[in-house]
Structure 1
């Protein structure tokens, strides 16, 4: 994981809040041609442990919808 983006909406789909951060995975970031993020972009970014509490706080009581939810939820459950 090299980036987290969260958009919170109300029941009508109106955007209530947006939050995004790069994440330093402390390893190879994979195919930059897919996500467009370079190793230098995440070098000073927080690692997942530093942002996980904020993510869980923002998502509490919400329905998670994601492009690849099964992958994303493994991070959140861990």
Structure 2
């Protein structure tokens, strides 16, 4: 596995960069970049072998969200939403 973004993500990032690279610095004051990610306590969600040990109740993971703007960054938070199938 590699950590490179998928091709469509790369194209979108490049297009975004080209659209904004000549904008004046003042325009960046109105942008807020955000992302969220899931962190697993035990291993990854990647390819699983046919036989593997399981950890009862999902093995422990946490979803976190953060953001950054021209003015600085926000605190990391835990978004409140449940995926279908979670009790």
Higher helix share: 1
Tell me whether the two structures share a fold, i.e. TM-score over 0.5. no
With normalisation by structure 1, the TM-score equals 0.24
Ranked by relative contact order (alpha carbons within 8 Å, sequence separation 6 or more), the top structure is: 2
Larger Rg: 2
With normalisation by structure 2, the TM-score equals 0.22
